[in-house]
Amino acid sequence: MRMLLAEDDAALGNWLTQALGQNDLQVDRMNDGRLVRRSLKETRHGALSGLHEDDPVK
């Protein structure tokens, strides 16, 4: 499954990407909300993680 991970904390993002990758997930990691929106429009993801409650994706 392909997953979009929205995380701006580099250390946490690296750890999550590695951990999820070890469980056969293909992780696309973004650290900018504009890139997240673009990726959601261009790519089909099976899961999305990392949205902050103050920054909903519309």
Helix (H) or strand (E) segment spanning residue 3: strand 2-6
Q: Grade residue 56 by pLDDT with cuts at 50, 70 and 90.
A: low
Domain segments of the chain as ranges: 2-49
Fold (topology level) of 2-49: Rossmann fold (3.40.50)
pLDDT per position as a tens digit, 3-44: 999 998 889 899 999 999 998 889 999 988 888 888 888 999
Q: Is the pLDDT of residue 55 over 60?
A: no
Long-range contacts (CB closer than 8 Å, 24 or more residues apart) made by 20-26: 25/1, 26/1, 26/2
pTM: 0.74
What backbone phi and psi angles, to 5 degrees, belong to 45? -115, 145
